[in-house]
C-alpha cells in the first residue's frame, strides 16, 4: 500500500497532471465568461431578428405541442465555438512562450577542436619513416 501511495504521489505531482488541472480550472472560468457573452450579448442581438429571446426560439412540430429548440441548440454551438477559440488561443500562446524559453535555454554547440588534416598526418608519417631509414 505504501508503494502504491508513493507512485500516486509521483504521478499526481508531475508537471503534466498539474498543467491539466490548471487548464481545467481556467477552462471552467472562461466557460462562465463565454456563457455570459452568449446569453447577455449575442442572443439578444440575434433575438432582434426573431423579435424574441433567441435561446427561446423553437420550431413547433405540428399540433402535438412538441417543438425543436433550435435557438438553444444554436446558442450551444456558438458557445462551443467561442470556447474552442479561447482555449486554442491560450494553448497557442503557452506553446509560443515554451518554444521561446527552450530556444533561449539552448546552449550553442561548441565545435570540436580541429585535428590535423589527412595530408598533415601523412607528412608526419613520411618524416618518421625518413628518420627511421637514416638510422
b/e sequence 113-133, b meaning 16+ C-beta within 10 Å: eeeeeeeeeeeeeeeeeeeee
For residue 123, pLDDT beyond 80: yes
Average pLDDT of the residues of the chain: 81
Tens digit of each residue's pLDDT (9 = 90 or more) over 89-120: 887 888 888 888 888 877 666 677 778 888 88
Tell how far CA 105 is from the center of its chain.
Answer: 20
27 closest CA partner among 91, 72, 77? 91
For residue 18, pLDDT beyond 70: no
Dist. CA 72–CA 54, nearest whole Å: 7
**What is the pLDDT confidence band of residue 58, given thresholds at 50, 70 and 90?**
confident
Dist. CA 27–CA 77, nearest whole Å: 17
What is the predicted pLDDT for the residue at 109? 67
What is the predicted pLDDT for the residue at 12? 65
What is the predicted pLDDT for the residue at 108? 65
DSSP class of 54: G
**3 state SS of 135:** coil
What is the predicted pLDDT for the residue at 93? 85
Q: What is the pTM of this model?
A: 0.54
What is the predicted pLDDT for the residue at 14? 67
Amino acid at each position: 500500500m505504501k508503494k502504491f501511495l508513493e507512485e500516486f504521489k509521483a504521478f499526481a505531482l508531475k508537471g503534466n497532471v498539474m498543467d491539466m488541472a490548471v487548464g481545467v480550472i481556467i477552462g471552467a472560468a472562461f466557460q462562465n465568461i463565454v456563457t455570459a457573452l452568449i446569453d447577455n450579448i449575442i442572443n439578444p442581438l440575434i433575438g432582434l431578428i426573431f423579435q424574441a429571446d433567441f435561446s427561446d426560439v423553437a420550431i413547433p412540430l405540428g399540433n402535438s405541442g412538441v417543438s425543436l429548440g433550435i435557438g438553444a441548440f444554436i446558442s450551444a454551438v456558438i458557445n462551443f465555438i467561442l470556447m474552442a477559440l479561447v482555449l486554442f488561443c491560450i494553448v497557442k500562446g503557452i506553446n509560443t512562450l515554451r518554444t521561446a524559453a527552450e530556444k533561449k535555454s539552448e546552449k550553442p554547440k561548441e565545435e570540436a577542436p580541429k585535428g590535423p588534416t589527412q595530408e598533415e598526418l601523412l607528412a608526419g608519417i613520411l618524416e618518421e619513416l625518413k628518420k627511421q631509414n637514416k638510422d
